A and B are shown apart, each in its own frame.
Chain A
């Protein structure tokens, strides 16, 4: 079975600091990778996704993530965070083929708090 690990449960930063949130997954096959974000009081929404091609993907609001296949990692980065980035961030994977197509496996989430 697939599993996703997010290393940090709560990250606190000041505005303009750089951000990196770790995500590792466990699965032997080809995967699709996602980062979702949930702002306070809002729905989960997609931040960025990787399916194939360039392992460095860019998402909304200046976020990017790098897929390192050898490390089974998909870390989220942002060079300079803003107070409005305060939210919970979830890494997710699904199998690119096989019986579990479509089903997303999520990490436990990382709560990011940015102080102005």
Chain B
């Protein structure tokens, strides 16, 4: 079946512009996560959606970052007024539930380059 998909796969933008990154989770997965991987670093948690509960936004690095999710489907991560330090691969993952034992399935990522 289809896995997690993300678009675009690559995005180059100029400093100060806004960008939107999209994630389509696996159908039926109620939990959705966004992570960021900067060069030479591990994955860094950004935000977590679980069903209709309020999202856990505690990993968002600044108020320039926001994310939305429509029901239990598509999510968009928006970065406003991009800065060069926002350059990274942004990964989305989904799982059956945000509880203890479920495996997170990762998408291919969006490579964001801010010039």
A101-B99 in contact (CB<8A): yes
A63 at the interface (CB under 8 A from B): no
The answer to whether B31 and A108 have CB atoms under 8 Å apart is no
A103 to B95, CA, bound (A): 11
* Chain A: minimal CB distance from B99 (Å): 6
Q: Which of B4, B33, B100, B106 contacts A51 (CB under 8 A)?
A: B100
Chain B residues, CB < 8 A from A109: 42
List the A side residues contacting B91 at CB < 8 Å: 44
Query: Which chain B residues in 22-45 approach chain A with CB under 8 Å?
Result: 31, 33, 35, 40-45
Do A103 and B48 form a contact, CB below 8 Å, given A43-B106, A44-B106?
Answer: yes
Residues of B within 8 A of A103 (CB): 33, 45, 48, 56, 59
User: What is the chain A residue whose CB lies nearest that of B97?
Assistant: A102
| Number of residues of chain B lying within 8 A (CB) of chain A | 27
Given A44-B106, A108-B41, check contact A102 B3 (CB 8 Å): no
Q: What are the residues of chain B within 8 A of A96 when measuring CB–CB?
A: 100
Q: How far is the CA of A100 from the CA of B101 in the complex (A)?
A: 14
State A61–B59 Cα separation when bound (angstroms): 33
**A107 to B59 alpha-carbon distance, docked (Å):** 16
* B42 and A106 form a contact (CB under 8 A): yes
Q: Which residue of B lies closest to A109 (CB)?
A: B42
A-B contact pairs, 20 of them (CB 8 A): A32-B100, A36-B106, A43-B109, A44-B91, A44-B106, A45-B106, A96-B100, A97-B100, A102-B31, A103-B33, A103-B48, A103-B56, A104-B43, A106-B42, A106-B43, A106-B44, A107-B42, A108-B40, A108-B41, A109-B42
Which residues of B are in contact with A by a Cβ distance under 8 Å?
3-4, 31, 33, 35, 40-45, 48, 50, 56, 59, 91, 95, 98-101, 103-104, 106-109
